[in-house]
Amino acid sequence: MARIRSKKNSSRKELITLAAARLFREKGFSATGMRDLAGDVGVEAASLYNHISSKAELLQEICFRIANTFTTQLNELEANDTMSSIEKIEQVIRFHIRMWVDRIDEVLVANNESKYLDEPYLTTFYNERRIYVRRLEMIIEDGIKKKQIRKIQPYAVVLLLLSAVRGIEFWHRTKKNISAAELEDSMVVNIINGLAAQ
Amino acid sequence: MARIRSKKNSSRKELITLAAARLFREKGFSATGMRDLAGDVGVEAASLYNHISSKAELLQEICFRIANTFTTQLNELEANDTMSSIEKIEQVIRFHIRMWVDRIDEVLVANNESKYLDEPYLTTFYNERRIYVRRLEMIIEDGIKKKQIRKIQPYAVVLLLLSAVRGIEFWHRTKKNISAAELEDSMVVNIINGLAAQ
DNA sequence: AAATAAAGCTAACAGCTGTTAGTGACGTTG
DNA sequence: CAACGTCACTAACAGCTGTTAGCTTTATTT
């Protein structure tokens, strides 16, 4: 029987998924072959199928794992009613930056390669993302209503947040001499200062 | 003989290149097949080769045409010594926005698909882009020296410019009810105001 | 009208794509 | 030791890839 999912098995699949994320990010989903991936893992292409069921599944795994990570964090944040809107936004920004720094491969694949998801996953993924952005807007709207945040277009703010965080990628590539923590703090300070009322 | 390059010929290749830009943008370079492209143009795949010499050449054409367009504009701007630094930056921003609005397919391909260029084109392209960014920084440094621009990190400003303009894409997709001219003006006002000294 | 160039077509290629089938080696458990 | 699950291997597949060769049709020029 052996119903216990062996540690070897799950860590092997995990290793393959992370290697796939790195390759999909670097070369793009379509340009990455199963033989490339196998070579990276140190195995023949056919052997991969002892652990995964298809190339498409790898992309799904990467994209939805990231989507769920962001959604879960937002769930916890929304449930917390002791934080002000500004504090919530600060937590969101910190979380985005941390994800960008720690899990850059998966995040970039979810951003840039998700268009290669098959249906119905493609539609599901885009819906989840749309809802996520909408929920961020609602936090900001709430903050404006409570006069904790300057009166501005919530959608524009979300846009600013997302593209500011996106800028980290460049920064991260060129200025290696700044630590992740420093980066996080200085970004948060800059953005939050621009938002706070008065 | 007939040494005159017929209008038909050049416009046919142009048509193919623009269709390629649209497909490369939509589906990515690797995921776009010559049969897809041919279908879009209304022709069999083999017939494309009466006008172009390879798929790779199409990507080169798109990327370097865009690179040259930006570089040429910057050349003219640098040669002009009656403009202040702020005015020059304003012209740069306006140009970027106009390119983003008018030639979105080609610009996005040059941004996102250039990694699929073969050597030596890949290296050449990245070098041109690096030099372009460096030249923008120099305009800003010059403006700081002449006290026309606030004292800030030039590299950060260039980053801001480029990613702010990038945000237009989202905006453009969602808020169709604002004209390109309005968009350009409001973006320019916002960015320039943040930069000017005093 | 004859000649020539431009641009389409079909058929086919070699190589690569993701994936399956079948086999055997290894290590753990009964 | 026998049985079993895990996981690697080789060989092979059908379908797709960019591209070429050769031929024919359409348009332009002399």
CA distances from B196 to A195, B143, B149, B187 (A): 21, 9, 5, 15
Provide the shortest C-alpha distance from residue A115 to chain B (in Å). 8
Rounded mean pLDDT of B27-53?
95
Over the stretch A27-41, which tens digit does the pLDDT of each residue have?
999 999 999 999 999
pLDDT over threshold 70, residue A126: yes
Inter-chain touch B116–A31, beta carbons under 8 Å: yes
Could you tell me which residue, A82 or A157, shows the higher pLDDT?
Answer: A82
Q: Identify the residue whose Cα has the smallest distance to the C1' of C29.
A: A2
C-alpha dihedral sign at A191, A83, A125, A96: positive
pLDDT band at B84 (very low <50, low <70, confident <90, very high): confident
Inter-chain touch A116–B31, beta carbons under 8 Å: yes
User: What is the reported pLDDT for A23?
Assistant: 97
Inter-chain touch A166–B170, beta carbons under 8 Å: no
Pick the range with the lowest mean pLDDT from A65-69, A174-178, B70-74, B159-163. A174-178
Indicate the CATH number of A12-48 among 3.40.50, 1.10.3210, 1.10.10, 1.20.950: 1.10.10
Q: What CATH number has the domain spanning A61-195? A: 1.10.357.10
CA distances from B148 to A8, B84, B158 (A): 63, 8, 16
**B121 CA from D24 C1′ (Å):** 37
A167: which chain B residues are within 8 Å (Cβ-Cβ)? 159-160, 163
Picking from A126, A27, A11, the residue whose alpha carbon sits closest to that of residue A67 is: A126
Could you tell me which residue, A41 or A85, shows the higher pLDDT?
Answer: A41
Q: Average pLDDT, whole number, for chain B?
A: 82
pLDDT band at A146 (very low <50, low <70, confident <90, very high): confident
Provide the shortest C-alpha distance from residue B4 to chain A (in Å). 40
pLDDT over threshold 70, residue A56: yes
Could you give phi then psi for residue B147, rounded to 5 degrees? 60, 30
Which amino acid belongs to residue A23? Answer: L
pLDDT band at A92 (very low <50, low <70, confident <90, very high): confident
A30: which chain B residues are within 8 Å (Cβ-Cβ)? 28, 30-31
- Chain A residues in contact with chain B using a Cβ-Cβ cutoff of 8 Å: 27-31, 112, 115-116, 155, 159-160, 163-164, 166-167, 170-171, 174
**A164 CA from C16 C1′ (Å):** 40
Q: Average pLDDT, whole number, for chain A?
A: 82
Closest residue to B31, CB basis, from A30, A170, A171: A30
Q: How crowded is the C-beta side of A100, counted as CA atoms within 13 Å?
A: 25
User: What is the reported pLDDT for A4?
Assistant: 34
pLDDT over threshold 70, residue B75: yes
Could you tell me which residue, A136 or A30, shows the higher pLDDT?
Answer: A30
State how far the Cα of A141 lies from the Cα of A155, in Å rounded to an integer: 10
SS3 for chain A is: CCCCCCHHHHHHHHHHHHHHHHHHHHHCCCCCCHHHHHHHHCCCHHHHHHCCCCHHHHHHHHHHHHHHHHHHHHHHHHHCCCCCHHHHHHHHHHHHHHHHHHCHHHHHHHHHCHHHCCCCHHHHHHHHHHHHHHHHHHHHHHHHHCCCECCCCHHHHHHHHHHHHHHHHHHHHHCCCCCHHHHHHHHHHHHHHHHECC
User: What is the reported pLDDT for A100?
Assistant: 81
Pick the range with the lowest mean pLDDT from A149-158, B57-66, B85-94. A149-158
Q: Are B108 and B25 in contact (CB under 8 A)?
A: yes
Domain boundaries, chain B: 12-48, 61-195
Nearest chain A residue to B155 by CA distance is A171
A114: which chain B residues are within 8 Å (Cβ-Cβ)? none
